[in-house]
Amino acid sequence: MADSLFWKDKAKLQLKDDLFSKTADDEAKKIAQQAGQKFNKYAQLRGFYDEAVKFRTQLLAKKDDKDYFETKLPYIKMLNARLAYAKGRDKISEYCQKFWAERINAISDYADFTAFADFFEAFMAFYKQYKPK
């Protein structure tokens, strides 16, 4: 079954071919265009990315412990609360909040999280070139 946001074929752990290239680039450009003086500043998004990197480091250290991922998943999903807070303070656009929330909500196992974290890395690399001056 083709799964949505990250996967061409999750059963085979095949990611979408253009996930880290065209998709990440297109979305970085779209979110940067909404940025202006108020929304979606690089530092704000970098804070969310840093959280994802923190989780990736923790999970990689215990990669073979299947239960460990389950203990971290609620905290990964808590990124949604942080997105809502940032949106409530007018730090990110509504589109940005919904875009990342959709991807966070798509995480159900370690493979999903890895795809999410790698996508976030590619997104941030592209966003750096589009970020508002």
Domain spans in the chain, listed from the N-terminal domain onward: 7-130
Q: Taking all residues of the chain, what is their mean pLDDT, rounded to a whole number?
A: 92
Q: Residue 116 has what pLDDT?
A: 98
* 40-94 pLDDT tens trace: 988 899 999 999 999 999 999 998 888 999 999 999 999 999 999 999 999 999 9
3 state SS for the chain: CCCCCCEEEHHHCEECCCHHHHHHHHHHHHHHHCCCCCCCCHHHHHHHHHHHHHHHHHHHHCCCCHHHHHHHHHHHHCHHHHHHHHHHCCCCCHHHHHHHHHHHHCCCCHHHHHHHHHHHHHHHHHHHHHCCC
Q: Residue 121 has what pLDDT?
A: 97
Range 12-29 average pLDDT: 97
